Chain A
Amino acid sequence: MSSNDTSNTVDLDTAELAHAEKAALAAELFAPGVGAQAGPPTTSATATGSAGDTPPGAHSHGGPVLNGQPVPTGSPAERFTSTDPDAFPKPTGREETWRFTPLRRARQLLDGVPSDARLQVESDLPDGAVLASVEAGDPLLKGLPEPVDRLAALTRQRSNGATVLRIAKEAVLDRPVTLRLSGTGAEDVVWGQLVVEVGAFAQATVVLDHAGLAKYSGGAAFLLGDGAQLTVVSVQEWAPGTVHGGQYDSVVGRDATLKQVVVTLGGDLVRLVSNVSYTGTGGSADLYGLYFADETQHQEHRLWVDHSVPNCRSNVVYKGALQGDKAHSVWIGDVRIRPAATGTETYELNRNLVLTDGARADSVPNLEIETGEIVSAGHASATGRFDDEQLFYLCSRGIDAETARRLVVRGFFADVVQHIGIPELQDRLMGTIDARLGALPELDEQPVEVG
């Protein structure tokens, strides 16, 4: 099996270990040298030394893999944020945050030309959900998490206000809120900003269903009140030629539960930054992602989960498949557990299935732990070809190798899709995936690794 696995799980049992022992254990488990770094987001990819001001007892762990090669991680522990685009240097491609992105294709967005172009919006709003808009300068916008890169800052500024979706306090929606966002052309850049406010103890599912042709940069903030339960589904089924950048910020209230499912299938370039922070104890976030990059598609998902309050949990599962020449996926998974975030439980996983030669998957998990008093923290990243054992098992039941491969890839994705919880949407997405798998001549030509 031509696969490369790195995985690491740590369980620190708070009940059994004294604090000092735990710190020592953490020190053993997490190699020093990839320490917390402070500074601007332009930290070069090779600068990995510990910063002098790393707090005592801070341990970090990086196990990034680039096409099978371990690489130093350059994710800064403290990110620079600003609403001013010019506070960020113009990306050159050397910056940590931009080094994977094909800047030429993103140029139109990064140029930041103002525009009034909009996506077509078709909305389905159940009772308890209200759509409104606010002007630029509205206090609501001032309170949002700040942009983490130049494109996000440009988006905040150029979008000139925001669409606001409000879910009333304690409302339990009887069906998902769906916003069908369609691009109508690639001449003008579309700038967009969405704010989703979920009242305390409300339960809602919000689907952002992107399609059509666009050059689009969209920010979205999801603000979860105490005890709120929100499922966010973001589907990128863009037409070829589309460039989509975006920053999603989720702010999870006390005892609130966020589930996010990001499905990226279409478009030339999709680059989504997804940040999660917690404002109260007991918050929970499950971040699922699925991407399927075909020839020349670039799909980039950057996650940042910031544990700064005690007793919260996060779980990140991103799975991608790649096929065809110059298909490129990038997954950056940054999880930080700050000193105050005792009792944290976190796990992140990225799996990439490389279906053909010429495709490239970059996967960079980065877990920084600054307190020993956590429940568990771990990450795993694996990039490889088909699992021979799975194929053997299926073939040993008479299923031919070709069908077995399709079952495995379908299964690989169904595993994520089933978290959406909306059967019609799940069926539609699996249908798209099936069609994409069907149009795969290379699959037949690949050496049969089993048999």
Chain B
Amino acid sequence: MTSPTATPTASGLKAGSVLEIRDLHVTVGDGDDAKEILRGVDLTVRGGETHAIMGPNGSGKSTLAYSIAGHPKYTITGGTVTLDGEDVLAMTVDERARAGLFLAMQYPVEVPGVSVSNFLRTAATAVTGEAPKLRTWVKDVRTEMAALEMDSAFAERNVNEGFSGGEKKRHEILQMRLLKPKMAILDETDSGLDVDALRIVSEGVNRAKADSPVGVLLITHYTRILRYIKPDFVHVFVAGRVVEEGGPELAQKLEDEGYAAYVKDSAEQAAVEKTASEKTALEATQQ
């Protein structure tokens, strides 16, 4: 299951970048405790496209996001991820970011004693390969912070320390704006935001889309954010794989009907698979 290859990008931009995920299998835990979370994910995101990934809690959405970004907690057991043909899985975490991937985290991490301004400058230097020119940099940061309705005092605070939920998400989008990725994965950026914050954060994403042909993987549990950020494709994600995909109308269907039907299907399928594998195991012992 991949997004239709012949579809022109919705924004109409000629976009070079392609993120391709093929048959991705991922486990968490070690040895006997290893548990397969992603069970064969296929997905293609082109620059300029916005793909919504929607699924119930625990379906593996964050696992997908973290696996693409390279979090050490997750073990890739099969499949490939490429960005413009380059093997993402062979890259270190920082190399992935420098290659143009960005992950806005569901739960951004506090880094005590590291100021936002120092962090942003260090990150921008790393991603662009040279220290940004001070004058334009300060202006860029100020402008974007103002657009995200963030107080300028924010820059002197420690990264994510004592931030409210909304502040953390604005800070993530601020980074997306400043680092200008080719592919941005937004992991439940909408969760925990009130309507105002949701609008502000969404506008930030839309500004990024307008400025450059960024590909967006918009992971969400709810359809609410899709009223602000229009997806070109919607993928239903259940039990570690994409179980259905379509256009924006699919989001409406999910809004009306929820995930229940998919979850039930998926449970039945898992049961069938389990029986099949037990049967194989039984046959194996009988031989």
- Footprint of B on A, CB under 8 Å? 388-390, 392-401, 403-404, 407-408, 410-415, 418, 448-451
Measured between alpha carbons, how far is A394 from B69 in the docked complex, in Å?
12
Measured between alpha carbons, how far is A398 from B98 in the docked complex, in Å?
5
Query: Looking at A390, A394, A400, A408, which has the most chain B CB atoms within 10 Å of its CB?
Result: A394
In the complex the two chains form, is A399's CB within 8 Å of B122's CB? yes
Cβ–Cβ < 8 Å partners of B70 in chain A: 395-396, 450-451
In the complex the two chains form, is B111's CB within 8 Å of A399's CB? no
In the complex the two chains form, is B122's CB within 8 Å of A407's CB? yes
Interface-facing stretch out of B16-24, B56-64, B101-109, B193-201: B101-109
Residue in A closest to B181 when the chains form the complex, CB atoms: A398
Interface CB pairs A-B, < 8 A, 29: A388-B73, A389-B109, A392-B71, A393-B105, A393-B109, A393-B111, A394-B123, A396-B93, A396-B102, A398-B123, A398-B127, A399-B122, A399-B123, A400-B126, A401-B94, A403-B126, A408-B114, A411-B112, A411-B158, A412-B112, A412-B113, A415-B112, A418-B113, A448-B92, A449-B72, A450-B70, A451-B72, A451-B92, A451-B95
Cβ–Cβ < 8 Å partners of B94 in chain A: 395-401, 404, 451
Q: Is B189 an interface residue (CB 8 A)?
A: no
Measured between alpha carbons, how far is A404 from B159 in the docked complex, in Å?
13
Measured between alpha carbons, how far is A109 from B14 in the docked complex, in Å?
77
Cβ–Cβ < 8 Å partners of A414 in chain B: 113-114
In the complex the two chains form, is B109's CB within 8 Å of A397's CB? no
In the complex the two chains form, is A396's CB within 8 Å of B97's CB? yes
Cβ–Cβ < 8 Å partners of A392 in chain B: 69, 71-72, 93, 109
In the complex the two chains form, is B111's CB within 8 Å of A390's CB? yes
Residue in B closest to A404 when the chains form the complex, CB atoms: B94
Instruction: From B92, B95, B111, B158, give the contact of A394 (CB < 8 A).
Output: B111
> Given A401-B92, A451-B70, are A395 and B97 also a contact pair (CB < 8 Å)?
yes
Measured between alpha carbons, how far is A451 from B92 in the docked complex, in Å?
4
Cβ–Cβ < 8 Å partners of B71 in chain A: 392
* Chain A contact surface mostly: helix
Measured between alpha carbons, how far is A394 from B93 in the docked complex, in Å?
9
Instruction: From A398, A407, A448, give the contact of B111 (CB < 8 A).
Output: A407
Minimum CB–CB distance for B284 against chain A, Å: 38
Q: Is B220 an interface residue (CB 8 A)?
A: no
Cβ–Cβ < 8 Å partners of A397 in chain B: 94, 97, 119, 123, 126-127, 175, 179
Cβ–Cβ < 8 Å partners of A399 in chain B: 94, 97, 122-123, 126
Measured between alpha carbons, how far is A396 from B172 in the docked complex, in Å?
12
Cβ–Cβ < 8 Å partners of B108 in chain A: 393
Measured between alpha carbons, how far is A414 from B127 in the docked complex, in Å?
25
Residue in B closest to A393 when the chains form the complex, CB atoms: B109
Cβ–Cβ < 8 Å partners of B119 in chain A: 394, 397, 407
In the complex the two chains form, is B72's CB within 8 Å of A410's CB? no
> Given A399-B122, A399-B123, A400-B126, are A411 and B93 also a contact pair (CB < 8 Å)?
no
In the complex the two chains form, is A390's CB within 8 Å of B72's CB? no
In the complex the two chains form, is A398's CB within 8 Å of B114's CB? no
Residue in B closest to A400 when the chains form the complex, CB atoms: B94
Interface flags for B249-274 (1: CB within 8 Å of A; 0: not) read 00000000000000000000000000
In the complex the two chains form, is A411's CB within 8 Å of B114's CB? yes
Minimum CB–CB distance for A14 against chain B, Å: 26
Measured between alpha carbons, how far is A389 from B112 in the docked complex, in Å?
12
Instruction: From B103, B114, B159, give the contact of A396 (CB < 8 A).
Output: B103
Cβ–Cβ < 8 Å partners of B72 in chain A: 388, 392, 449-451
Measured between alpha carbons, how far is A276 from B98 in the docked complex, in Å?
51
Measured between alpha carbons, how far is A407 from B118 in the docked complex, in Å?
9
In the complex the two chains form, is B114's CB within 8 Å of A410's CB? yes
Cβ–Cβ < 8 Å partners of A412 in chain B: 112-113
- Cβ < 8 Å to A, chain B residues 175-202: 175, 179
In the complex the two chains form, is A408's CB within 8 Å of B111's CB? yes
What 10 A-B pairs are tightest by C-beta distance, nearest first? Answer: A411-B113, A451-B92, A414-B113, A398-B97, A397-B123, A398-B126, A395-B93, A415-B113, A398-B127, A411-B114
Measured between alpha carbons, how far is A399 from B72 in the docked complex, in Å?
16
